Structure 1
Amino acid sequence: MSTQTKLDKNRLYVYDLDEKILNSLKLVAFDGLLNEAELPKSIEDLTTSSTISEKDLQQLKNKQVSTSLNCSACQVSFEKLDDERTHFKSDFHTYNLKKTLKGSLPISLENFHVITEKKNNQSAHEDDSSSSDEDNSIEDDVDIVTKNNTITNTPNLETDSDDEFGSQPFTHNYNSETDVPISHLNTRSAEIYFKSNQISDGQYFGIYKNLFSKQSLLKPMQELIDWNTSIDQTTSISALFMVGGGHFAGAIASHQRANIKGNIRKHDISLQEQAVRFIEHKTFHRYTTRRKQGGSQSAMDNAKGKANSAGSTLRRYNEAALKADISNLLVEWKPYLEKCDNIFIRARSSQDRRIFTESGFFQKDDDRLKSFPFTTSRPTVGELKRAWCELTYLKILNKPKPIEVRENTDLLKKSTQQNKPKKETKETLDPGCEHTVNLINLVKKARAPLLISYMKKNKIDINFILKPESLYANTPTMLHYASQNNIKQMVNILLSNMKADPCIKNLSGKPPYDLTKSITTQRAFQIARYNLGEDYTSWEESHIGEPLSREAVEELVKKEEKEKDAEVTSAIEEELKSLKKQREHELESKRGKGNTLGIATITQEQNLNSLSEDQRRKTNERTKSQSR
């Protein structure tokens, strides 16, 4: 986007365009090579419009829906609706529709029957050799007949068409080099281009194509006029939905802006975003994606199998809850959604998009369902406002660069160079290197069935030496490569199933077993030794440890896990004890030792003196009885 021309952005709102800007707009068409071209007058009248007069403005305001039964392409009328429907399915209507799109005049039904009869008669009398050189389509025959004026009462397409067509009425509709129709939709971008005298030369105004419906996209200028001449814009609304990563944001946007006169521009939001009027908006978030992992839990389950952790269960529950929340919101907003002109949806995955289509409110072929033609960030209300402003404001764009067409001489040179035999292909392209690349890719991905079928098809030995040998000096065989990269599944398959030789050594004199440092890969070698037996090869040369069965390996794994758990628990207990001692020491240091209370020793005589005579006599008797 160019910054040379500065315009007040408030004047560029497509639903409330400045009158000068609206009257200055002129639709720009391009050919197949992005060269600017002029539309034929008949098509230009349908797609563009000049300044709006008061009469046209009044007609637009008082326009009503037509109830007449007629076909504008064939220029015929009907009395019944069934007759009109059958006409639209006929070959006569299809032919006239194609002619109208090309800018030519339609023909009558009688002339169409004459053409078809002549076509049938010619095909019946001509030989197979001559008929194979001619085109079998009705269109080409009609063009030939009309140009030769051999049919009576048939309009001459050359003389009845506009003068600007000249003697070839279709040359202005199509690019002679690429055979692509000239159209305002050939921009190869998401925008439609408009000329204007309000900006500098070489620049255009751009409007996103997604803002128009399929029908209005054919006449965008007329649609712009309808938007800006509508009496009340409050009835026009659009829906915006964004969902991804457990985040959801939705809003019902009014096409009429809010009054922001006197508002101060904030740092985090522009004046245009402040003017956005949301009738309803809602955001919520559910934990559906594991942090730094990417993708939803359902996608992970489909790719790697269903996990049984507490976090995965929570994410699955939240995915279902997110769908339920969106469905409930769509039910709540149903009165708005039925009146929306556009429904923009941004969904990162097909599963998220299926939430809207499976809800029953929208059909897959609904013309109102559209995507945002630009990248968006995390779904929030602020992001919805930014996206709405990006959609509904004119953009100043530079003129698109035409596509360069290479000359035929260059193409001939390239074709001759390609056809020349290459002498160095045998030296540079070694089939062994190609096999090595394919084999290594299959080993990396652990595609054992494909690896076996590839080796059988190309008759490759299991102990194939990888090439070039200088590059694979440390890993000359597939078993070496799988061992060094710790691909334990392929180690077991290459040894147990495909009977690879574990005694082959690399340039350093190391067998495959010595290249791995992973205990799991080493145990895969030991399992293979157990499966193959001691008579398979000299296992001492392979340096593989004692054979182990899968059951023994599983027991070792369980034992190691228990030992690790015991070590962890003991370490935790020791840590807790040390923390407890440290805590006590800190408390003592804060409180201090303190003074011990002195305990007075009370003698028996002092104790007896405090008693009465009767109590003293009874205690004496009690002590005498105890002593006995």
Structure 2
Amino acid sequence: MSDRIQKNDLYVYDLSDEILSSLQLISFDSDMNEVKVVHSDVEIENKKEIEVKTVPSCASCGINAFPNDNSDPRYHFKTDLHKFNIKRRVYGLSPVDEQEFRQLIKSKETATAEDSDSDSLSGEDDETDEIEEDDISTRGGEQLTAILEHELQDLMINDNQTGPVSHLNTQSPLIFMHSAELSGPRIFGAYKVLFNAEELKCPLKSIHHWKNQDKTEHFSVLFMIGGGHFAGAVVSHQKIPTNGNNKNKYILSLQEQSVQFLEQKTFHRYTTRRKQGGSQSANDNAKGKANSAGSTLRRYNEAALKADIQALLKDWEPYIAKCDNIFIRANSVTDRKIFLDNTCISKTDVKLKSFPFTTMRPSSNELRRAWVQLTYLSITDKPQPKVKKLQTDHSKNKPRKLTNSPTPVPLKTEDEQHTEKLISFIQKSKAPLLISYIKKNNLDVNITLQPSSEYHHTPTMLHYASSHGLKHMVLVLLSTLKADPTITNNVGKTAWDLASDTMVKETFQLARYNLGESFTDWEQSHVSGALSAEQIDERHKKIALEEEKEKKDLIEKELQAAKERIKEEKDAKRGPGMKLGAASSNVQINLNSLTDDQRMRLMREQRARAAEARMKRFSGN
């Protein structure tokens, strides 16, 4: 950022006068080439003086006043120069003056003469070398029309590959603008989503209008949802003054501190399957409805999250009806439907937009950061034009095909052919075919795989099977084929060192137990202590029990939290004078979503608590 520009001066709804007056919109063709365009935006409303043209002029040709002679000014509008500039203006190109127009015609006529037959030009060269200056601006006819059409083709105006010129041809979420306040090739960028369809046609006029409007009456609504987290806010376009704030004292930047929230709300529900990812509804749609306490709890929380959000939308309906923009960040279709199904937000609302950049977990601070990124001009580089392949006529310079000299294909060596077969058997875990192929071709089980440049990290079959997690093939290579586990690769790692899976390492330890300590130097192979199949099974059972216990503890914790929420909701809804029957019916509805074991456990806890309460009352008396 330039030293002359402060970040606070780049707020798009309240740009500083210096930056605002220096902005120049950049237009591009469809190939992302910058094109200079004379923009016809309406004059700014706060301009104090308007120049009144009292002399004849031509905006298409860039002539402010005609020469003060006795000629009729209307004569200019009949010339080919004026007609040519009108065509250029239609396609957004700058006009040419009379001298450039003469040079253009002369160059085109010269090119036409060179392409014509020499016999037809022999008697006309002396007559067409020079063009009368007095006659150039009034010259017409078929020849000049062809020259103008050829010029338009050279400019690629009528070419479909270029297309119309516009400031929206950026293939970027930004609109780009030049500014004299920036040094070097840097330019400003503003997000397109801030403008509606009409404002996008004249973005500079819209930015001037935003600066002059009463920003206290304009606001936008932001929503983010993901992973059970929700954050929403109503943001005023009027900033909060931050003069005197210490930036280092806060986690937020000064720009984020200046964001004014008229309303905000955040909450979280447990809806995501832990350690596995994804919502419960997505898992049910993919694999069918699961029947567990955790899945039941997540389904309940998904419904509760939807109800909470839609209740908030109903409360904020007056804001949503009058806001300028509605930004929603919802990664899944299910989350997006929460805002659009049976709510005050219509799917066809032109104010409905998405964040044009990646956002983090929904929170109040993330809403502030996203609003700052949206509403402050960014300083960036101008986009690069597309690289187009030159279309040339290959028919004349087309090389001859050499039919008798085909490109030689290098033949595979015998070791490379064996390697291809062996790796195919290992990848498909076809142990009988692997053993048969090795015995049939009398191969060494420790054969070095070829080519070595491709298998330098896994030089042997044992290395390859270990690094790819093929535990069955590791056991076959060690126990059946007696592969050497002490061989190292180019960086000194054995097959054991390449195993990243615990199951594969247990296979090495099982092979060590089966082969015995006298088979090889196991310390050199880096394989850990030997384990029998029974010991491995006991280890797996122990791990499974620990995971089951952890899972049960988690379910108990979530059930306890659910019971406390149910009790709080029941106490809030019950009020004074509520009948016992009504309370029991609500509890019965909640119990229907639990399994039989869970229901019995919950009822035992409730009876125990009731007994404790009675004993406390009796002891108090």
* Matching of residues 420-439 of structure 1 within 5 Å: 422-424=407-409
1:54 aligns with 2:61: no
Question: Corresponding residue for 1:389?
Answer: 372
Amino acid at match of 1:392: T
Give the whole-Å Cα distance in 1 for the aligned partners of 2:427 and 2:141: 68
CA RMSD in angstroms, aligned pairs only: 5.7
What letter is aligned with 1:279? L
Per-residue Cα deviation, 1:351-388 (whole angstroms, up to 9, x for no partner):
22222222443333433222212222221111111111
Question: How far did 1:181 drift?
Answer: 2.7
Structure 1 runs not aligned, ≥5 long: 58-98, 105-147, 151-157, 160-164, 444-450, 452-459, 489-503, 509-514, 523-556, 570-628
Q: Cα offset for 1:348?
A: 2.6
Q: How does 1:563-578 map to 2 (within 5 A)?
A: none
Look up the match of 1:27. 25
- Contact 1:289–1:297 under 8 Å retained in 2: yes
Of the three residues 444, 465, 485, the one matched with 2:470 is 485
| Structure 1 position 330 matched with structure 2 position 313 | yes
> Can you list the C-alpha shifts for 1:569-626, whole angstroms capped at 9, x where unaligned?
9xxxxxxxxxxxxxxxxxxxxxxxxxxxxxxxxxxxxxxxxxxxxxxxxxxxxxxxxx
**Whole-Å separation in 1 of the counterparts to 2:332 and 2:346:** 18
Cα separation, 2, equivalents of 1:12 and 1:27: 16
Instruction: Quote how far apart the aligned CAs of 1:248 are.
Output: 0.7
Of 355, 363, 366, the residue aligned with 2:349 is: 366
8 Å CA contact 1:31, 1:174 repeated in 2: no
Q: 1:404 to 1:335 in 2, by over 3 A?
A: same
Who is 1:247 aligned against? 229
CA contact (8 A) 1:273 1:385 kept: yes
Quick check: 399-408 or 279-288, which moved more? 399-408
Pairwise CA distance, 1:38:
1.5
Match of 2:66 in 1: none
- Which residues in structure 2 correspond to 1:101-112 (within 5 Å)? none
Determine the C-alpha separation between the residues in 1 that align with 2:264 and 2:173. Answer: 27
Q: Identify the residue that residue 207 of structure 2 maps to in structure 1.
A: 224
* Structure label with greater radius of gyration: 1
Q: Distance in 2 between matches of 1:418 and 1:32?
A: 37
**Cα deviation digits, residues 540-575 of structure 1 (max 9, x gap):** xxxxxxxxxxxxxxxxx9xx989x98xx99xxxxxx
* Contact 1:102–1:170, Cα closer than 8 Å, also in 2: no
Give the distance between the partners of 1:27 and 1:438, measured in 2 at CA: 60
- Find the counterpart in structure 1 of residue 284 from structure 2: 301
Report 1:447-596 matches (<5 A). 485=470
SS of alignment partner, residue 324 of structure 2: strand
For residue 243 of structure 1, report the CA deviation from its aligned partner.
Answer: 0.9
Q: How does 1:403-422 map to 2 (within 5 A)?
A: 403-405=386-388, 422=407
Superposition deviation, residue 432 in structure 1 = 11
Deviation per CA, 1:243-298, whole angstroms, max 9, x where unpaired?
Answer: 11111100111112223344443431222222211111100011122444332222
After superposition, the Cα gap between the structure-2 partners of 1:173 and 1:291, relative to the gap in structure 1 and judged at 3 Å, is same
The letter of the residue matching 1:26 is Q
2:597 aligns with: none
Tell me, in whole angstroms, the C-alpha distance in 1 between the residues paired with 2:268 and 2:191: 30
Alignment length (residue pairs):
404
Provide the C-alpha distance between the structure 2 equivalents of 1:289 and 1:269, rounded to a whole number of angstroms: 29
On the 8 A contact 1:32/1:175 being kept in 2, the answer is no
1:354 aligns with 2:337: yes
Amino acid paired to 1:338: A
Q: Is the Cα–Cα contact under 8 Å of residues 206 and 394 in structure 1 kept in the other structure?
A: yes
Q: Which amino acid in the other structure matches residue 54 of structure 1? A: K
| Superposition TM-score, scaled by structure 2 size | 0.51
1:398 aligned onto 2:396: no
Which residue in the other structure is 1:493 paired with?
none
Conservation of the 8 A alpha-carbon contact between 1:31 and 1:175: no
Residues 238 and 254 in structure 1, CA contact (< 8 A), matched pair in contact too: yes
- 1:345 is matched with 328
**Which residue number corresponds to residue 204 of structure 1?**
187
Q: Secondary structure of 1:248's partner?
A: strand
8 A contact 1:27–1:193 mirrored in 2: yes
Partner of 1:585: none
- The CA distance in 2 between the partners of 1:6 and 1:347, in whole Å, is 39
Contact 2:313–2:343 (CA under 8 A) maintained in structure 1: no
Which residue pairs with 1:186 in the alignment? 169
Instruction: Report the AA paired with residue 36 of structure 2.
Output: E
Question: Partner of 1:341: helix, strand, or coil?
Answer: coil
Cα distance in 2 between the residues matched to 1:187 and 1:402: 9
Q: Distance in 1 between matches of 2:233 and 2:188?
A: 27
| In 1: Cα distance, 2:419 partner to 2:400 partner | 25
Instruction: Report the alpha carbon displacement of residue 427 of structure 1 after superposing the two structures with TM.
Output: 5.2
The 2-side partners of 1:184 and 1:433 are apart by 58
The whole-number CA distance in structure 1 between the counterparts of 2:348 and 2:319 is 19
CA-CA distance at 1:307 after TM superposition: 3.6
AA of the residue aligned to 2:17: E
- Tell me the CA shift for residue 404 of structure 1: 4.1
Paired with 1:219 and 1:440, the residues of 2 have a C-alpha distance of 65
Provide the residue aligned with 2:216 in structure 1.
234
CA deviation string 1:442-465 (max 9, x = no partner): 98xxxxxxx9xxxxxxxx99x999
Distance 1:103 1:435 in 2: 65
TM-score (norm 1): 0.50
Task: Name the CA shift for 1:15/1:516 in 2 (closer, same or farther; >3 Å).
Answer: closer
Q: For 1:418 and 1:258, how far apart are their aligned partners in 2?
A: 74
1:38 to 36, 39, 50: 36
Secondary structure at the aligned position of 2:13 is classed as coil
What is the SS of the residue equivalent to 1:335?
A: helix
1:166-191 C-alpha deviation (Å, 9 max, x unpaired): 98668768485942432212223221
Query: Do the aligned partners of 1:103 and 1:173 also contact (CA within 8 Å) in 2?
Result: no
